[in-house]
Amino acid sequence: MTWNQRPRVVGRMGVLSVLVPLIAVVTALIIGNMLVLDYIHVLLGAIWTGVDVFFGVIFRLIYRDLSPETRMTVAHRVMPATLFFMPTASILTPLAGYFLAVRENIWNPSSSIFTWIIIVAVLLVLSGFLTVFLNSLLIARSEVTDDSVIRRRLSWICNGALLQLAFQVVIFSLMAYLVVFH
């Protein structure tokens, strides 16, 4: 695949992967419907977790066995949408959760459970930006054709997705504890 054949970094999928979740969360906040906001929070979190499972577990097993040309083609086609969706999901999902906690009057920043949720959420978002986002950006914007560089970047993305998945499991556990015991 030549540089001119690659999809644009900001294409229709990049714009849609930001606008659809953003419009959904903003609409839920504007109409003030807790059920809609809860649904969007859970759905967006589930999709985000699914993407992390895909990259952290499934994609990692597949991309290693691809030919260098196929690996480069897949990387340059998948990364632009991932580049935009992952940061959007990693910001909007916890933000929607925060608004839910405030509206349900369970937000208590002095509680140790909330302290842990905030710490894990910050680590979750940072790990995503430092691994998935930055490496997706480097793949999507670069003219790199060296398979070892593409392979290393994809490995970082898969490892970052796996790390995010671990943080998400911790957050799910903390939220479940909060909902059941508080």
Over residues 83-92, the pLDDT tens digits come to 788 888 888 9
Highest mean pLDDT among 69-73, 80-84, 99-103, 148-152: 99-103
Copy the structure tokens of residue 8. Answer: 């644009």
By residue range, what is the domain housing residue 129? Answer: 3-181
Mean pLDDT of 51-75: 88
Given a cut of 70, whether residue 42 has pLDDT beyond it is: yes
Least-confidence region, from 48-52, 142-146, 149-153, 165-169? 142-146
Per-residue confidence band for 143, with pLDDT thresholds at 50, 70 and 90:
low
CA atoms of 81 and 132, how far apart (whole Å): 12
Q: Residue type at 71?
A: R
The reported pLDDT for the residue numbered 10 is 59
Given a cut of 50, whether residue 1 has pLDDT beyond it is: no
111: left (phi over 0), alpha (psi -120 to 50) or beta: beta
The reported pLDDT for the residue numbered 87 is 84
CA atoms of 9 and 41, how far apart (whole Å): 27
Q: What percent of the chain has pLDDT over 90?
A: 28
DSSP-assigned letters across all residues of the chain:
--GGGSPPSSSHHHHHHHHHHHHHHHHHHHHT-HHHHHHHHHHHHHHHHHHHHIIIIIIHHHHTTS-HHHHHHHHHHHHHHHHHHHHHHHHHHHHHHHHHHHHTT---TTSHHHHHHHHHHHHHHHHIIIIIIHHHHHHHH-----HHHHHHHHHHHHHHHHHHHHHHHHHHHHHHHHHHH-
Q: Which residue has the higher pLDDT, 143 or 63?
A: 63
CA atoms of 169 and 89, how far apart (whole Å): 16
CA atoms of 182 and 172, how far apart (whole Å): 15
Q: Which residue has the higher pLDDT, 46 or 175?
A: 46
Q: Which residue has the higher pLDDT, 2 or 48?
A: 48
Domain count of the chain? Answer: 1
Given a cut of 70, whether residue 5 has pLDDT beyond it is: no
Given a cut of 60, whether residue 151 has pLDDT beyond it is: yes
The reported pLDDT for the residue numbered 3 is 43
CA atoms of 44 and 21, how far apart (whole Å): 7
The reported pLDDT for the residue numbered 8 is 57
The reported pLDDT for the residue numbered 78 is 77
Mean pLDDT of 47-75: 89
CA atoms of 141 and 32, how far apart (whole Å): 39
Residues in the chain: 182
Q: Which residue has the higher pLDDT, 106 or 76?
A: 106
Q: Residue type at 168?
A: Q
